[in-house]
Structure 1
Amino acid sequence: MAGPLTLAIDVGGSGLKASVLAPDGEMLTERVRRDTPYPCTPAVLLDELTALAGAVGHDYDRVSVGYPGAIRQGKVRDVTAFLRPAPGEPFDPLLRELWIGYDLAGALAERFGKPVRVANDADVQGCAVITGTGMELVITLGTGVGCAVFFDGVLLPHMELSHGRFGDGLSIEVACGDNERHKVGKEKWRERVLDALDAFEAMVLPDHVYIGGGNAKKLDPDKLGPNRSVVPNVSGLLGGIALWERLPDAAPAPTTPAPVST
């Protein structure tokens, strides 16, 4: 099928994944994965993604990136995971200074020499799984908790709904994140996730909820309730095609690609 090839990258709090997609979404390469390094500064992430793209070993025309934080006009507004020296540790003010306001889309366009689109990872995953009918809510369970809202197929401005407090005063992001899952055990974590899904539904009033991310498979599908479904984690890559249809702006490629650091 004629059309641009897309390097789809899924940046997670525990892993970085990439594949090259055909215009119809077919994966032209095997999914390549690297562990997410910590502390993960912007410079470290750029180098890791450069290595990841090299390991894919296939040409591409443009780049789509799902990122575990809030992105506005290509810039980082917030990113819970990367503001910590390691998962579960306190926030580091130096990491906050490096990340908040960082022009990630522009930096990636310079690095790859290709047009780039960057969005929250839940937004990207949602682009691959929604039906385009009514209010649809996408929740991702991984190192933290992501969320995206679509109405009649239109991606709404990203909101960090998981930063809201519930239960014992923890945010949903923390209480249902991977670090707490290890602390409290599978059954308690599952109860928290179901409570969080109820809270999300009370806020958004969705017609359907899609649950993805690496920890979605640890839920019991029979206990999710109506109008909720688990979606495959690979959707975080496959949404890289639809992202070009749903995001209005892209970071243009530089006239001359910047040199790749080694």
Structure 2
Amino acid sequence: MATDHAIGIDIGGTGIKGAVVDLGTGELVGDRFKVRTPEGGRPADILRATDELLAGIADESDGTKLPLGLCFPAVVKHGRTLSAANVSDEWIGLAAEELFENELGREIHFINDADAAGYAESRYGAAVGAEGLVILTTLGTGIGSAFLYDGVLVPNTELGHLEIDGVDAEHRAAYSAMERESLSWTQWAERLQRYYAHVEFLFSPDLFVVGGGVSKHHEHFLPLLDLKTPIVPAVHRNNAGILGAASLATR
């Protein structure tokens, strides 16, 4: 198979999904595979489930020869997971890249999930050709973030944990807060305004890109925000991690 294809796998708190990606177009080649993230999100269980998922992809695509990128909900530094979001705390401090390589029997490129999504949007989505600083945020259970400067990824920003009004920003402004507190779009947008205005003040970005599943409803909340910086919905949403992980696997 041509080397303009790679496999991307996105590990999340509820599901592990992956596919072969056409690196020229940013489109999935064939089916997207998905398995449930094992209850508790413990290392041995996630490693086994990822191996099972990869076997399905490889059977369909002769994927044994393709580069493989894998993204994960943690700060990733020198192959180690230094945090754990919606997976077991046992991941904290593990040499996770090495563990995955041993389990899967091949080299991988290992990266934070929001960073993978941001890279995908810069290469195939809402931030293609954007100059200066692009900040992608994913609004979901928490708030993930990615910085891209002239298309170059600056990894491991954790803007969901900015302290605003004495609490982690994501506790009040993530999509999960809207659901938990039964907020209206307008009420939630007031919290998002406080959050994005603070991020804008600190970093003076040139573009905000808003991802996460809720971005498909962007017309309900993005027009309510009053910022100096343009703010646009992400294009790839649930496939962004797969696309970004696959793209980075060849770099």
SS of 1:140's equivalent? strand
Question: Which runs of structure 2 are paired with 1:56-205 in the superposition (5 Å)?
Answer: 56=57, 57-60=60-63, 61-83=66-88, 95=89, 98-130=90-122, 131-167=129-165, 169-187=166-184, 188-205=187-204
Percent pairwise identity: 28
State the AA in 2 paired with 1:228. I
Change in 2 beyond 3 A, CA 1:245/1:204: farther
The residue number in structure 2 matching 1:242 is 247
Moved over 6 A (4+): none
Aligned-partner Cα distance in 2 for 1:52–1:176: 33
1:162-188 deviation per Cα after TM superposition (whole angstroms, max 9, x unaligned): 112224x33123223354232112423
State the AA in 2 paired with 1:29. G
The residue number in structure 2 matching 1:42 is 43
The residue number in structure 1 matching 2:207 is 208
Report which of the two has the higher share of helix: 2
Give the TM-score normalised by the residue count of structure 1.
0.79
Residue 29 in structure 1 maps to residue 40 in structure 2? no
Structure 2: which 5+ runs fail to align? 123-128
Give the TM-score normalised by the residue count of structure 2.
0.82
| 8 Å Cα contact 1:138-1:211 kept in structure 2 | yes
Structure 1: which 5+ runs fail to align? 84-94, 247-262
| 8 Å Cα contact 2:143-2:160 kept in structure 1 | yes
| 8 Å Cα contact 1:6-1:21 kept in structure 2 | yes
The residue number in structure 1 matching 2:126 is none
Aligned-partner Cα distance in 2 for 1:194–1:38: 35
State the AA in 2 paired with 1:48. A
Aligned-partner Cα distance in 1 for 2:250–2:206: 23
What is the root-mean-square deviation in Å for CA atoms of aligned residues? Answer: 2.2
Aligned-partner Cα distance in 2 for 1:38–1:180: 23
1:141-166 deviation per Cα after TM superposition (whole angstroms, max 9, x unaligned): 22211111111111114221211222
SS of 1:79's equivalent? coil
State the AA in 1 paired with 2:35. R
Report the CA distance between 1:4 and its aligned residue. Answer: 5.4
State the AA in 1 paired with 2:61. H
Residue 15 in structure 1 maps to residue 20 in structure 2? no
State the AA in 2 paired with 1:27. L
The count of aligned residue pairs is 232
Report the CA distance between 1:229 and its aligned residue. Answer: 0.7
| 8 Å Cα contact 1:14-1:143 kept in structure 2 | no
SS of 1:115's equivalent? coil
Report the CA distance between 1:137 and its aligned residue. Answer: 0.5
